[in-house]
Amino acid sequence: MTEAHHPSLDTGLIESLTDLERAREIAAGCVRCPLKETRTLVVFGEGNPGASLMLVGEGPGEEEDARGRPFVGRAGQLLDSALAEAGIPRDAVWVTNTVRCRPTKIEAGRVANRPPRVGEIRACAVWMETELRLVAPRVVVCLGAVAAKALIGKEFRLTQERGQLFPGPAGTEAVATLHPSYIIRQRDSESRARAREMLVEDLRLAIRRAGA
Ligand code: SF4
């Protein structure tokens, strides 16, 4: 099938979309990258379509893939509680990922998550740009290094540059923080609490800048 024959492959058509729900419908059949082979559902962004704050993670995990919604698994629960502590209702923001289909690998005979590849992020960028254009947030929060490298710059170093404001995509300001999954993976409760505090602190900065 060529680009001209499949609407989800036609970049021009995607770029001309003016409605988030129409974009979601078209993205549901997207075959722009190899992740189409292994996904169950395409996970388009969701939340407040007029949000001043957009949160961008890495990619859907198992639960997100099954339900077609971003950040609904354990990492999503941690994110929701951090948002609440920062005084931000989850439904006030827009939540999405650098790729909209679950990247997987086989590990010890089982299907496991893996970070998205650069080519996959590049293929999915047209959807990222569409969400940015139609939601038009003031501030983007990159959850983890993968999103930060994709949206702030490929030289971005999370350990050194977390919690600082940078020029973001589409005229936004961007701040990068820890990915909720990274916080869950911390070895002990003290490290987890410290990492979670950083996430809350960065979310507070983002919401102040977004003026929401
Ligand atoms: S990851 Fe993005 S570009 Fe790749 S098939 Fe899914 S929606 Fe399309």
Report the separation in Å between the CA atom of 191 and the middle of ligand 1, taken as the mean of its atom positions.
34
Q: What is the pLDDT of residue 12?
A: 87
Number of Cα atoms under 13 Å in the Cβ half of residue 197: 6
Cα 113 to middle of ligand 1, angstroms: 16
126 in ligand 1 pocket by Cβ < 6 Å?
Answer: no
- How far, in Å, is the centroid of ligand 1 from the Cα of 45? 12
User: What is residue 154's predicted lDDT score, i.e. its pLDDT?
Assistant: 95
Q: Give, for ligand 1, the residue of 24, 100, 126 to mutate: max count of ligand atoms closer than 8 Å to Cβ.
A: 100
Choosing from 6, 17, 36 the residue with most ligand 1 atoms within 8 A of its CB, the one to mutate for a pocket test is 36
Find the mean pLDDT for residues 161-176: 98
Residue 160, amino acid: Q
The C-alpha atoms of residue 125 and residue 119 are separated, in whole angstroms, by: 10
Report which protein residue has its CA nearest ligand 1's atom 3: 124
pLDDT in tens, 169-180: 999 999 999 999
User: In 12-133, at which residue ranges do the beta strands (DSSP E only) sit?
Assistant: 46-47, 53-57, 94-97, 104-107, 110-113
Q: Which residue's alpha carbon is nearest to atom 4 within ligand 1?
A: 33
Residue 45 · residue 70 · CB < 8 Å: yes
Distance CA 125, CA 132 (A): 10
pTM score of the predicted model: 0.95
Decide whether any atom of ligand 1 lies within 6 Å of the 101 Cβ. Answer: yes
pLDDT at 6 over 90: no
Tell me if 32 CB under 6 Å of ligand 1. yes
- Is any atom of ligand 1 closer than 6 Å to the C-beta of 9? no
Question: pLDDT value at position 9?
Answer: 62
Q: Which ligand 1 atom sits closest to the C-alpha of 99?
A: 1
Structure confidence by residue, pLDDT tens digits, 105-148: 999 999 999 999 999 999 999 999 999 999 999 999 999 999 99
**Amino acid 10: pLDDT:** 79
Closest atom of ligand 1 to CA, residue 39: 6
Predicted pLDDT at 98: 98
Q: How far is the CA of 76 from the centre of ligand 1 (A)?
A: 21
Q: Residue 212 — pLDDT band, cuts 50, 70, 90? A: low
Residue 1 neighbours by CB under 8 Å, 6+ apart: 9, 31
In the predicted model, is pLDDT for residue 55 greater than 70? yes
How far, in Å, CA of 152 to CA of 143, rounded?
A: 12
* Atom 2, ligand 1: residue with shortest CA distance: 124
Domains and CATH numbers, the chain: 3-210 (3.40.470.10)
Task: Give the separation between CA 179 and CA 134, rounded to whole angstroms.
Answer: 25
